[in-house]
Structures are given as C-alpha cells and as structure tokens.
Structure 1
Amino acid sequence: MITDKFCEEGCAVKRFLFLALVVLISVFVFSSQLNVAVLGEVRSLNPFLVKSAAERIVVGHLYETLLTQRSGQVVGALAEDFQVDFSDNSLILKLRDRKFHDGSFVSADDVVFSFNYILQKRLPLGPILAYFTGAEKIDEKTVKLKFRTMNVSMLSFAPMAIPIIPKSVWEKIEKPLEFPNIERPIGSGVLMFEKLTAQSVVMKFFKDHPDAPKQLDGMVFHIVQDETMGFLGLVKGDYDYLFWNLDPELAKQIMENPNKYPNVKVALIEGGVVNVILFNHRKSPMDDVNFRKAVLHALNYRELVEKVYSGLADVASLGLIPKRAKAVYDESVGPVQQNVSMAKELLKKSNYDGKKLTLLVSSDRKAMDMAEYIKLYLKNVGIQVELDVQGPEGLTTKLKKADFDLALYSYSLGSHPEMVFYHLHSSRGEMKNGQVVGFNYGGVNIPELDSALQAIWMAFSEKDRVEAFSRLQKLLAEVVPVVPLLVPVDIEAYSVKNFTGWVVSPTEGVMNVETLKSLKPAR
C-alpha cells in the first residue's frame, strides 16, 4: 500500500535522523577539550627560553624529563628504570618505548644530545648541571649520566629538570637562545602543539602518550593578563581551570558563599613556597646575627597570616624547609615566633646605628601589604625602614646587583628542598661584573652554614640525607641568614559546569594525571 511505503520511508528518515543525532551527541561527549586560563604572554615555546608563567605551563606539557615526582616519590617519566652507581658517580637510565609528537621514537641519542647540548650552548639550565660532566649512550634504550660527585639529591635535579628534545630538530639550531620554537614545537609530552594565536595556545592530547585521556581531545590555554578577568571567565564557564593561585580573600568568599558560585570549586593544597626576608650580608648591620635575630623576633607572624593571607597560610619554620618537603622536614625546630622584648635586647647588642634601611619589595599587592606590616613591626622595636617598590624587572635587576638592604623574596622548596643550597651557599653569592653569579642575592657567607649545605649534597643514602637536612635546619635557626615568614597555601580554582570527575591530590593539586583520566563532560 502507498501508506505503508510512506511509513517505511518516513521511518527510515527518522531512524537516519536519530542515528545522526546519536553520532553528534557522541562527538560532543567524546570529542571535548578543556579550556584553561594562564597568566602572561606566550612569545616562545623554547624550553630553554621560558620567561612568563604562561610559557612555563605550556612548555611543561609539551616536553618531558627522564624522571618526575608523583605523590612525593621519584618515578620514571621517559625512563622506566634507573640505577645509581655511587662507585662510578653515575646514573644509568633505561628508556621506555615512547614517541615524539612527529612519530619518531625517543632514543638514547636524543637524551645524550639534550644534556650535552645545554652545556655546549651554555643555556640557562646550565646551573642545574653544576655537578654534571657528560652523558653517554650505552645502547639504543640506555644512557649513562656522569657527575663529579653522586648523591641521592642528584635525582631531584638533572634527570627531573632537563627537557628531552629531538636531536633531529635541535642539532640544526645554532643559536637556541634566538629560536622562539613557535611554528612546530615537537616534544614527547601529553599535549602536542596545534596553533598559537595572540589569545590562546591550542593543544591536543598526544594519543601515543600513556597518560593521554581517551575521553578528551585537547586543551586550550587562554592567555589572560588579569586575574579578575580570568576568574569571571571561570564563573561563567568559559574556563574550566585557572593555572594560578587564587587570591585568599576571594577563595574564602567562594567557600563561605557556595550558592553564589554554584559551579566554582576551591582546592586547598599544602604550600611549598616560603616567603622570606633577605638580608644583604655584604653591608652593616645585616652582617650582624644579633640584628638579623632582632628582625626575626620583631614580626607578628600570626597577624600576617590573617591580615595578608586571610588565614590561608602557615607560619614558616625557623629551619626554613616547609612541611610539604615531608621526607626532610624537621618538626622539632619549630616555627618563627614574635618576641618584642627579645627583639629590643638583641637590637641593643647589634651594630645597628639607627639609620634608615631600604626594604626592596615587589609591586604585587600581597607583597606590598606584607611590607607595610613589616615596616610597622620593625619601627615598633626601633628599626627604621623605607619601602623600595619595584616592578618585576626592576626587582630582578636590583636583586642581581645586590642593590638593597632588606628584600621580600620567596624560595620554592616544597618539591626540591635541595634548592636551599643555591639560595644560601657562599659560592652562589659571589659578585662578578657587578652582578651576583647565582641565587644567593644576599651574599650569605657563613662557613659553618656552607659546610651544612655541602653535607646535603654528600648524602649517599636516604638516612644520611634526612640527618643532613635536620642538622641544616637546626643551624639555620641559630644563624638566621634570612627570616622565614609564611608558607602560603596553594589555592586552586576549577569549574564543574562543563566537566565532572576532578581529582584533588594533596601533593599535586587538581590538574594531575588522575584528573585528566577521570574527567567527563557534564551532561
């Protein structure tokens, strides 16, 4: 019958439309991309030429190292296995079967080239290879890294910091510091490059990577210049995650008014950055331990936590190392504490003559707020200071030229506590051509401290390492080369409007491997 024919044709059309709709829904569900916000500009994707926070984040997803940290433990990244040979001062690593984004396999030749290239071209990562003497190929999947001295701390540096680059690309680059690497950057990371615009970096997940999620297609890094605009984008659902620490006041507002921000979630992670006051030990009275201790005891740390960080910070340890460095943190040293009467007594014993000193500080609002409180605390015990407020470039210039009396600064020691060596050892504070050669901007030069710092590099077992760090922290409390202030809590913000399945790791935060594998588009 004619009606049956029309019915059959109509039903066929309906079935076709239904299947097409299913396909479209499947594409929507299973072809999704994360939208994240990063601060700063992206002018280079050269791993040796990173300047902005945005560049650092993108490059960190493009390239990989031999080893990495997960849940506070050293684990393989491009390397599947490693052995330390203390007798030969070397580290032998067996490579996984992994590919670069162009489809070529990561080989021992690429690893050897990556390490030796940094030394040959005198690239900025060179200081990390201070004890490194060379890399050798054993076979196609095995390499040997050789050092002048070998200890357990070496695992936290060279193999975890040096990006492995494809030899076939970089051997043609004669001047790497003039190479922006923005046309077709090739790494082996979980994300591979698609395109760069003035507003974003578009990446897609590299499906040959073991950590690449199956349910996500890619990630778009939206470049924003202002934290407020980034947060508004998160609230609207334009962004799924912010790649910076949220302002503590804003975080408290969100946590106290969840109905106002129904899709925004806040994760609080134990911080690893220690705010400190640097002293310029090259000058008087900063070279006097009594003066440094007077400054330490003059400050109201609890008030700084509440007033500057809205309670979302911890008072730092006298031993400088933060709790996040759990393996070496010595709880017995105790926190810094205010004692005004002791501060005044110590000041009398010092060589401070009452002259006004400068406190170098960043133009960042948090830093300026903290500096104003510190200025008042010091005035209360008889120390006169004036603030020298500088933008990022001006601050760096003055630090490198040692052009300050006191300075507000911060050390990132949570994941790599061994970095304290580079901040405080006298060899890192020497002046050459009018500039500090390392990161010891204050020119700390205390012989017993040098010995204690050297000891953490001479630890040949985990037990020796823990004991060396314990001795170091106790000594830091005595000689006070810097004043440890606060350890701000890491505050991460993400949205559940577009995706569910976020996993908060106490050590890695929100944007971790488990999150990427668990995320699903919200239906």
Structure 2
Amino acid sequence: MLRLLLLLTTLASLPVLAADPGDVPTRHALALYGEPALDEGFDHFPHADPDAPIGGTLARAAIGSSFDSTNPYIVQGTPAAGLGNVYDTLLTSNPNEPFTMYGLLASGIRLDPQRHWVEFDLNPKARFHDGTPVTAEDVVFSFETLTEHGQPLYGAYYAGVKDVHAVDEDTVHFDLTDSESRELPLILGQLPVLPAHYWRERDFTQPTQDALLGSGPYRIAEVDPGHRIVYERVDDYWGRDLPVNRGRHNIGRLVFDYYRDASVAMEAFKAGNLDMRTGSSARNWATGYDFPAVKAGFVKRLEIPDGQPAGMQAYVMNLRRDKFQDVRLREALNLAFDFEWLNKNLFYGAYQRTHSYFDNSEMAAEGLPSDAELALLEPHRDALPERVFDSPLPIDMPEEPRARLQRAHELLTEAGYTYRDGQLITPEGEPLRLEVLLHDSRFERVVHPLLRNLKRLGIQGKIRVVDVSQYLNRRGNFDFDIIVGSFPQSANPGNEQREFWGSKYANAPQSSNLIGLESPVIDDLVERLIAADTRAELDTAAQALDRVLRWGFYVIPQWHLPATRVAFWDKFGWKEPFPEYGLDLDAWWIDPQRAAEVEARQSGG
C-alpha cells in the first residue's frame, strides 16, 4: 500500500504533458464554454441574408477635427475611423453567441486539451489585396510586431503566449504559458494579420496616411485628412463565400465624414449628407427627430436590445494625482453626483443608473459576498476594508440630495479637510481644485450639475474642453484630474481585464488603466477571473472583482441603456431577429428601390 501511495504521489507531481498536434482533432470553431452553436458546414450566420443585394453607399460621421494615421495599431497618431474593415483576423465571432470564434483566415484549429498550445491552419485561398498569399510567417510577424511595437493592449491581451512559430507555410503554432486562461486561444483568433512583405521596408511605429495593404472585405479608396476617409468593397475579396461572410459586407462604399461637433453632424444627417447615426444622446433621441423627413417616413429609428453587460461609463478619477489617494474623498465625490436629477431633467428618463462594472449580467455583485466570493476575498482580508466583507454594496446611498451632501461633508471632515472662506481646504492646507477634461462641448451641460454640488461642498471645479487630438494626447499620457471614461464588458470578460485594472499598465502610455490602479488584490482577482474553468467560477471571480472595485470608489458611475439607438434614412435592409449579443451592421444592405426613393426626396424630386 505504501508503495502504491508513493507511486500515486509521484505521478500527481509530474507535469501534465501537452498532446502531440497530430493526435488532436481539427475544429472549425472554438467556444469558451460548451460547444459552438453552428456545426461544421453551416452555410451562413442566422442573422445574415446570403441573397442580400450588393452595392450602394453608407455615409456616417466621425467626430473630431481630423486624423493623421491610417495605422490603428500603434501608440502614435490619431487613427482614422473604420480601419478595422481593411484587415482580416484568424477567427471571427458570431454575435448570436456569448463568445464563440469561427474560422476566417484560419480554416482549422487544433487546441491542446490542457491548453498548452494552439495551432491554426490558414485557408490556402487567403490573399492580401495585392494577390500575395497570407502565410504563417505573416501571422508570426503580426504577433511579434503588435506585441512589441503596438498599443499596450496587445501586450496585455497576449501576455500568456510563450512562443509563436510557423510549422509550415499554412500552419502557425502558439505555445502558451498561461494554460489556465480559457480565453487565450480564442482571443489569439482576434489577431489582425498584417502583410510582412508590405511592412518590410516601412516603419511600423510611425503614423502614415498611406492606403495600407490588408486582406479584409474593404480597402482604403480615399484618404482626405480633415474631411473624410472612404473604403470600397473588394469585389474579388478572397473570403466573400466563407460561411462567416456570406450575406455580410454587402455595402459598396463606407464613408466616414469628419465633423468637429456632433451637433453639426446632426444637421448633416437631417440634410441627407449622412445616412446613419448610432448612439444619439437622450435629448437628441427625444427631441431631435421632428424634422419633415421623419414625419414623411423617410427617416427611421430603432432601439435594438443589447444582451451584453452594460460595462462602466463613469467620471474616472486619476489616482496618479495625490489628491485622490484618500478613499473618503472619492466616496464624497460619488455622493455629490445626482443621477436622478439628471435623468429627469436632461435625459427624459431614458437611462438606468450604472452601479456595477458588469451591470445587466449575472457577473454583477449583489448584497453580501457569497461563500464562493469569500473564498477569493479572504486571503486579502488584511488589505481590504472590512465593509467589503460585512456591508451591502454602496447602491442605496441616501437618495435625497441634502442627505447625500451631508454625508459627503462628514466624510471630508473625517478625512481632515477644513473650510476657509467657504472653500474646502486639503489636509496640506491648499484649496481643493478639480478639473474635468472633455472633448465634446455638449457634455458640459451634464457636468455642470456635478460641479454645482461640488461647489456646495466647497470644492472648486471647472471644465476644460480641448480638441480631440489634444484630448487623446492628454488621455494617453494620463494628464487629467477627472475624465469621462468607459470600460466596456463582454459576456465573457478575460485578458482585457489586465489592461483595465492591472498594475503593469498603470503607467503604460495609451493603456486602458485610466484610473492608475496598482493593487496586488485586484491583480490577483483579475488572474482568477482569467483562469476560471467554468461559467460559475467566472461569474464568482467577476463578482469579487466588481465588489472590490466598487468599494474603492475609483470612479463615479454614470448611466447606461441596454440597447443601441440607430437612426437612418430608410434605404437599408436587414434580417430579423437581430443577433443577441451585438449589432452587426455588416449584415445590413442597401435596398436599391428604397435608396432611389430616398435620393429623390433628398434632391427635392
């Protein structure tokens, strides 16, 4: 018996060996949990119409003074809108599933059962727009270039990759150090593949305005900085008959016209110079669509339900500034925000208050921690405030404004703030001044009520509106007190959480860690989330992370709408029902007859 126990102990301590690629079946798709909804051999996505007409133009607005780069993957420069249409990825998602990736450039996938490696077989038909085949070497070049010279998100996203190499011309192999991450093999499929031969004599790190070479369904047709960028459908696109593309990418030209101000863009839409608007403000949605074309039925509006978590849009406080180090100040600032007044007086009651970083999902923390959450939180008890463990979440703060400001005043006094001539004085003896950085003047009316409440607390607040280029530069270098930021979430959060909250990215220029978080506790919870092996484990890890973030009061949560607003001139067609987990405009098309009627209306005919 002793020998048997020793043998079992020895076997248990041995590393799990990776499978040989030759012994692993080739798949057409990967699902994060369970099996793909669509079997191998499916004809098209259910929400796409393979018989949709081809052609026409979709003109949309890009808000900002201009762009100075057609390379969207680097730190420098302001990239043009719509560049993702130029590049294919190894895999692509089905918006009818929470997180399943189907073959695009890759025609086959082999995943080690222990997730120590993943291999992709490239479709032998895959071509760049100049006719050059897409090879495994292009994939290796793309991975190395993006993780070494691209935006920080690529380093965060693919941190669990140990090595990548070409097995042969059509097969690329990734060795994974982070074998606990169920998501990593899938997000490797999101890698945009760049042409190595094109970049061999070019500097990838520098902004350019060239019509860069890709392999996707559209190519750059016109670059006019300060005015527009235009993409044209690639008629001989290599992947047009793939199941993931059939019935998609139907529109002939995609135009992004640049406008400095969203209100001017709205006027351009009314005049028929733009075909579609998405994400309109509550005020515009409620009052801005009473012009004649709407009344005559030529302009339509839809609110399309969105099954994704709402994510977090918020006033983000910059922890790199000493003034925000005390959690009591941050909580007081939260108390000064009166969502109910805003929603009633400015938003026409259209929005829901955001509380959680994962609102509109089962990943949002509720009430007291569950036993499963406590198992993740207990090892960090000494580093967390006691209320994380024994207090309900800070959802039901005093709703009456006076009570909220009274509680804020108590917190500030407790933190050592005093008053002098009606001004709040920091413990260091200086007046407390806060600046909210914006790039859109329309948002000033939303910020002013917060500043009024801050003034009642003796805090000197002001708004700084800068142009988009300066805004992006200051945001990328974390040169702000408070900024309106967003942390979008999917139904299956994973590696991107490292860049949102991870210590490694707190001071990495252009990273998404806008708060400047450097917390070993949060780092650990992020890794627990990424390593979750079941849906229940993922939900629990997200809830624990959500709970710690919310009790830190790092942001002032704003609001959300569990739907996407789309206004458009009535020349488009689509297939219903809409996909559950995201709006897929690539599956829309232009109806020639309705387009002719709309054009006649716009020209006065």
TM-score in terms of structure 1 length:
0.78
Q: 1:38 aligns with which of 49, 61, 86?
A: 61
2:485 to 391, 409, 416: 409
Structure 2 residue matching 1:250: 3-state secondary structure: helix
How far apart in 2 are the matches of 1:315 and 1:81? 44
What amino acid is the match of 2:204? P
1:48 and 1:231 map into 2 onto residues whose CA distance is: 29
Say if 1:73 and 1:501 are closer, same or farther in 2 by CA, change over 3 A: same
How many angstroms apart in 1 are the aligned matches of 2:142 and 2:311?
Answer: 29
Q: Does 1:507 align with 2:572?
A: no
Partner of 2:34: none
User: Structure 2 CA distance, aligned partners of 1:172 and 1:312?
Assistant: 52
Other structure's SS at 2:69 match:
coil
Across the aligned residues of Structure 1 and Structure 2, the Cα RMSD in angstroms comes to 3.6
Alpha-carbon separation, structure 2, partners of 1:481 and 1:499? 42
> Which of the residues 350, 354, 357 maps onto 1:320?
357
Q: Distance in 1 between matches of 2:287 and 2:297?
A: 12
Q: Residues 114-133 of structure 1: matches in 2 within 5 Å?
A: 114-119=142-147, 121=149, 126-127=154-155, 128-133=157-162
Tell me what 2:100 maps to. Answer: 74
Distance in 1 of aligned mates of 2:350 and 2:76: 28
- SS where residue 444 of structure 1 aligns? coil
Structure 1 pair 410–366 and aligned structure 2 pair: CA distance change class (3 A): farther
> 1:111-151, CA deviations, whole angstroms, 9 ceiling, x for partnerless residues?
22211233454666643433333322234443222333130
Q: Match for residue 94 of structure 1?
A: 121
Does 1:154 find its partner at 2:184? yes
Alignment of 1:28-427 (within 5 A): 32-39=55-62, 40=64, 41=66, 43-49=68-74, 55-57=80-82, 59-69=83-93, 70-71=95-96, 72-76=98-102, 77-85=104-112, 87=114, 89-96=116-123, 97-119=125-147, 121=149, 126-127=154-155, 128-150=157-179, 151-155=181-185, 157-160=187-190, 162-173=191-202, 175-178=203-206, 180=208, 182-183=210-211, 185-197=212-224, 199-207=228-236, 208=238, 209-210=240-241, 211=245, 213=247, 216=250, 218-225=252-259, 226-242=261-277, 244-253=278-287, 259-260=294-295, 262-269=297-304, 270=306, 272=310, 274-283=312-321, 286-317=324-355, 319-323=356-360, 326=361, 328-330=363-365, 336-339=395-398, 340=404, 341-353=406-418, 354-355=424-425, 356-380=432-456, 382-391=457-466, 392-399=468-475, 402-414=478-490, 417-418=493-494, 419-427=496-504
Q: Which residue of 2 aligns with 1:17?
A: none
Query: Where does residue 528 of structure 2 map in the other structure?
Result: 455
Query: Alpha-carbon deviation of 1:493?
Result: 2.0
Task: Give the number of the structure whose residues are more often helix, by fraction.
Answer: 1
Counterpart CA distance in 2 for 1:302 and 1:129 is 41
Check the 8 A contact 2:335/2:407 in 1, yes or no.
yes
Amino acid at match of 1:389: R
1:492-503 alignment runs, 5 A limit: 492-496=566-570, 498-501=571-574
Q: 1:404 to 1:206 in 2, by over 3 A?
A: same
Letter in 2 for 1:204: R
Any conservation in 1 of the 2:319–2:517 contact (CA below 8 Å)?
yes
The residue that corresponds to 2:385 in the other structure is none
> What amino acid is aligned across from residue 581 of structure 2 in structure 1?
T
Spell out, residue by residue over 1:165-212, the C-alpha distance to the aligned partner (whole angstroms, 9 max, x if none): 223322332x113362624x3322222344445544141244442326
Of 476-485 and 40-49, more deviation after overlay is shown by: 40-49
Output the CA distance in 2 between the equivalents of 1:440 and 1:494.
Answer: 35
Q: 1:288 to 1:220 in 2, by over 3 A?
A: closer
2 CA distance for matches of 1:279 and 1:436?
Answer: 17
Q: CA separation of 1:290/1:393 partners in 2, compared to 1, >3 Å: closer, same or farther? A: same
> What is the distance in 2 between the residues matched to 1:302 and 1:156?
40
Identity, % of aligned positions: 18
Equivalences, count: 479
SS of residue matched to 1:450: helix
Deviation at 1:158, TM superposition (A): 4.1
Counterpart-to-counterpart distance in 2, 1:45 and 1:277: 30
Say if 1:101 and 1:206, in contact at 8 Å, map to a contact too: no
For the structure 1 residues 133 and 366, does the alpha-carbon distance in structure 2 shift closer, same or farther, using more than 3 Å as the test? farther
Q: Secondary structure at the match of 1:55?
A: coil
Structure 2 residue ranges without an equivalent (≥5): 1-51, 369-392, 399-403, 419-423, 426-431, 597-605
Aligned residue identity for 2:266 = F
CA contact (8 A) 2:249 2:586 kept: no
Q: 1:145 to 1:329 in 2, by over 3 A?
A: farther
Q: Secondary structure of the residue that 2:295 maps to in structure 1? A: coil
| Equivalent-residue separation in structure 1 for 2:201 and 2:322 (angstroms) | 51
CA contact (8 A) 1:111 1:143 kept: yes
**Relative to structure 2, which stretch is displaced further, 280-289 or 394-403?**
394-403
User: For the Cα contact (< 8 Å) 1:194–1:203, is it kept in 2?
Assistant: yes
Shift of 1:358: 0.9
> 1:136 & 1:511 partners in 2: Cα distance?
35
Paired with 2:591 and 2:547, the residues of 1 have a C-alpha distance of: 44
For residues 214 and 477 of structure 2, the distance between their equivalents in structure 1, rounded to whole angstroms, comes to 36
- 2:555 corresponding residue in structure 1: 482
Counterpart secondary structure, 1:101: coil
What is the distance in 1 between the residues matched to 2:564 and 2:482? 26
Other structure's SS at 2:546 match = helix
Q: Tell me the SS of whatever aligns to 1:389.
A: strand
Distance in 1 (CA, whole Å) between partners of 2:478 and 2:72 is 28
Q: Are residues 282 and 241 of structure 1, via their aligned partners in 2, closer, same or farther at CA, if it must alter by over 3 Å? A: closer
Task: Measure, in 1, the Cα distance between the counterparts of 2:101 and 2:216.
Answer: 16
Contact 1:43 1:180 in 2 (8 A): yes
Residue 31 of structure 1, CA deviation:
6.3
- The reply to whether residue 428 of structure 1 matches residue 505 of structure 2 is yes
Q: Cα 1:230–1:293, aligned 2, differ >3 Å: closer, same or farther?
A: closer
Give, in angstroms, the shift of residue 299 of structure 1.
Answer: 2.0
**Equivalent position amino acid for 1:385 in 2:** Q
Offset at residue 62 of structure 1 (A): 0.9
The amino acid across from 1:67 in the alignment is: L
Q: Distance in 2 between matches of 1:254 and 1:371?
A: 21
Kindly indicate whether the alpha-carbon contact (under 8 Å) linking 1:95 and 1:142 is maintained by their aligned counterparts in 2.
yes
Q: Deviations over 1:368-412 (max 9, x none)?
A: 2232111223344x2513114141344445455555444433323
Specify the code of the residue in structure 2 equivalent to 1:55.
Answer: A
Could you tell me how far apart the structure 2 residues matched to 1:277 and 1:456 are? 25
Higher relative contact order (CA 8 A, sep 6+): 2
